[in-house]
Chains A and B, each alone.
Chain A
Amino acid sequence: MRSHFQLVLALVASLAASAGWSETLGDPVKGAKVFKKCQSCHQVGEGAKNRVGPHLNGIFGSKAGSDPTAKYSKGLIRAGDDGLVWTHETLDAFIENPKALVSKTRMSFRGIKGADDRLDLLAYLRGFSDEPSNIPEAEPTAQGNYHNLDPAILAIVGDSEYGEYLASECMTCHQTSGANDGIPGINGWPTEDFVVAMHAYKQKLRPHPVMQMMAGRLSDEEIAALAAYFKDLE
């Protein structure tokens, strides 16, 4: 059983590498429609509860079978103990064909064969997990920026000169060289990713206390200014 599971994981990993999924973005709005297929058993979003299957808030990055209040098959719990963590790649494989990834799972669902549908669905679900965008400190699971930010906030054009001054505060920890030891480099981030990430810290959706504190006192204009500065920093 264990060796079979590891074989599948290895297969998943090699597929992930060859398919280049991390480059592809799903559409969360379309994904919300795909989710209708899941709704008879799973809830997601504010107030979601465990039903036939577990709720899916915070699913990205969590260990398989790790919610003590949910019902799982022995197979899924064992897979979690063996190291199965829900990432974009593992969720994609599971949704495509649940029994291929976890034998005897309780999820009696034939799977979603369309790769685009799965991408859209995962982009939608991604919005209900802690790290909603693709950042260096997270697993590269995020596909797109599903978020609840006001488009007006994203539309703010930052003053990069102000951003340079504000960034000096970031540089005490995040190195200008972009080095990534213990604290991630943040040079060259796409503007939208940067803004979404900082607002997620500000709203305390992302967990890190230092970043929650730093982002917590930045205005929308200041976040835009920082994003404008870091975008072009190599």
Chain B
Amino acid sequence: MNFNRRLFLGTGVAAATTLAAPNVFAAGHGKPRVVVVGGGAGGATAARYIAKDSKGAIDVTLIEPSRMYYTCFFSNLYLGGIKTIDDLGHSYGTMAAGGVNVVHDWAVGVDRDAKTVSLAGGGSVTYDKLILSPGIDFVDGAVEGWDLSSQNAMPHAYKGGSQTELLKSQIAAMPQGGTFAMVAPPNPYRCPPGPYERVSMVAHYLKANNPTAKIIVADPKPKFSKQGLFQEGWANHYDGMIDWIGDDFGGGNVSVDPDAMTVTIDGDVTKVDVCNVIPAMKAGRIAELAGVTDGNWAPVNAADMSTKADADVYVLGDASQQGDMPKSGFSANSQAKVCANAVRGALTGSKVFPAKFSNTCWSLIDTNDGVKVGATYEATDEKISKVDGFISQTGETAEMRKATYEESEGWYAGITADMFG
């Protein structure tokens, strides 16, 4: 029954948009213009899909400061020595062939009345529809003793690229029997299983290279994503190496001293060799500058990812506050396709189909020991709402875990091809 209703709604939307003459929304100039800020899993996907599906009818500009995109997803596998940094890098050179103009610059402001985005290098670009996919920034003062100026001494490594490489080199330089500390973030944050996959991959590296080293995790949360699976895996593969201190044991009462390289957990001071501080997160700054955030995130409408603040400004991925989906590359990619379909429909009168979302997060615990969690979602009036889901089980066979890992590699190849062509 449900699908009939949704199908009917979809057809209704399609009929409504077909009535509007194409291109009427291109305010006073030739082709309608879409500007996308941020070339990650949300932005790159949206830009490519709009350009591809409109077949040149929409002018698509992607504003992205980097020449190469280093994925945050799979970066833990680089820390574990299973992937190289080159495996994670993807060039924007392929975007032009997909019909996307790429401007390598920082977007530093949005004038929503004039419909322009100003650039750090000077000048501005105009838009009919603006898609912001800026990822995350960190909340000031979230971890006592840490601010962005401490990110070399105590890396977050929660944006792909140089921070990931820095953390890797610090782990490699640890003395035998040294201590790796992580300050885990509070909800909501990018990639819920990410910190715990990272702990697994750091343990994987240390087990081979520094087997007497210790890992301590200070966590402000009483529980975390895939906890049963991770803790089973830690006991099986890294027995005695990992000490996870949840909120029940003072894990949330934490401060750091980047000069002294100490971590204080519930009053206990520990000298550490590496400290990975992953602070509380908020939407990437451009969303705030555009005035579409409310608190730390940008509230959006589930049907098309348009912001509650402005129907011509959309926010995708981690920066959005959409409902039940986790903040992940998979989610951003999924939201981008719904958004691209809606934006194209609004600008050219093409058919708009009902929103469907999905997400799967794979995590690697040790070589060939992969686990996953996933769900499907639909748009309701209030939010993106979960429909159905699954999670890997404890005690699965080695063959199934290996197949799950191989599947995650297939997904990595799939999503990066989907983003960059």
Q: Which residue of B4, B341, B390, B415 is within 8 Å of A173 (Cβ)?
A: B415
Select which of B7, B358, B407 is within 8 A of A182 by beta carbon.
Answer: B407
Any chain A CB within 8 A of the CB of B356?
Answer: yes
Within 8 A of B (CB), among A178-234: 179, 181-183, 209-210, 212-214, 216-219, 221-222
B145 within 8 A of A: no
- B406 near A182: Cβ-Cβ < 8 Å: yes
Q: How far is the CB of A217 from chain B (nearest CB, A)?
A: 5
With A210-B374, A210-B390, A219-B3 known to touch, is A181 a contact of B356 (CB < 8 Å)? Answer: no
- Whole-angstrom distance from the CB of A185 to the nearest CB of chain B? 10
Query: Interface residues of B: mostly helix, strand, loop or mixed?
Result: helix
> In the complex, are the beta carbons of B418 and A162 less than 8 A apart?
no
Q: Which residues of A contact B406 (CB under 8 A)?
A: 181-182
Confirm or deny: B301 has a beta carbon within 8 angstroms of a beta carbon on chain A: no
- Chain A nearest CB: distance from B210 CB in Å? 31
Tell me, yes or no, whether B158 is within 8 Å of chain A by CB: no
Residue A50 interfacial (CB < 8 Å): no
In the complex, the answer to whether A213 meets B413 with C-beta atoms within 8 Å is no
Segment at the B interface, from A70-78, A82-90, A118-126, A163-171:
A163-171
Contact yes or no, B337 A168, CB < 8 A: yes
Instruction: Name B401-415 residues within 8 Å CB distance of A.
Output: 406-411, 413-415
Q: Whose C-beta in chain A lies nearest to the C-beta of B410?
A: A182
Once bound together, how far apart are the Cα atoms of A221 and B2, in whole Å? 13
* Residue among A168, A176, A181 facing the most chain B CB atoms (10 A cut-off): A168
Contact of B413 with A179 in the complex, beta carbons under 8 Å: yes
Asked if B408 contacts A217 (CB within 8 A), the reply is no
Considering only residues 17-71 of chain A, those with a C-beta below 8 Å from chain B are none
Let me know if B388 and A171 touch, CB within 8 A. Answer: no
Number of interface residues of B (CB under 8 A): 34
B261 to chain A, nearest CB (A): 40
Q: Is A161 interfacial (CB-CB < 8 Å)?
A: yes
CB–CB A166/B356 < 8 A: yes
Name the one of B3, B375, B409, B414 contacting A222, with C-beta atoms under 8 angstroms.
B3
- From A225, which residue of chain B is reached at the shortest CB distance? B353
Inter-chain CA distance A168–B355, complex, in Å, is: 12
CA distance A166 to B3 in the complex (A): 14
Given contacts A183-B407, A210-B374, A213-B388, whether A221 and B7 have CB atoms under 8 Å apart is yes
Contact with A along B176-192 (1 / 0, CB 8 A): 00000000000000000
In contact, B3 and A168 (Cβ under 8 angstroms): no
> B311-345: which residues lie under 8 A (CB-CB) from chain A?
330, 333-334, 337, 341
Q: Is the CB of B417 within 8 A of A176?
A: yes
Which residues of chain B are near A181, meaning CB under 8 Å? Answer: 406, 409-410, 413
**Cα distance A181–B4 in the bound complex, in angstroms:** 36
Additional pairs, 13, CB under 8 Å, beyond known A165-B353, A217-B378: A168-B337, A168-B341, A172-B411, A172-B418, A175-B418, A177-B417, A179-B417, A181-B406, A181-B409, A181-B413, A182-B413, A183-B414, A222-B3
Q: Which residues of B contact A (CB under 8 A)?
A: 3-4, 7, 49, 330, 333-334, 337, 341, 351, 353, 356, 358, 360, 372, 374-376, 378, 387-390, 406-411, 413-415, 417-418
Question: 5 closest Cβ contacts across the A-B interface?
Answer: A182-B410, A183-B410, A219-B3, A182-B406, A168-B337
24 residue pairs A–B, Cβ–Cβ below 8 Å: A162-B353, A165-B337, A166-B356, A169-B334, A169-B358, A172-B411, A172-B415, A172-B418, A173-B407, A173-B415, A174-B414, A177-B417, A182-B406, A182-B408, A182-B410, A183-B407, A210-B360, A210-B390, A212-B390, A213-B358, A214-B358, A216-B388, A217-B387, A219-B3
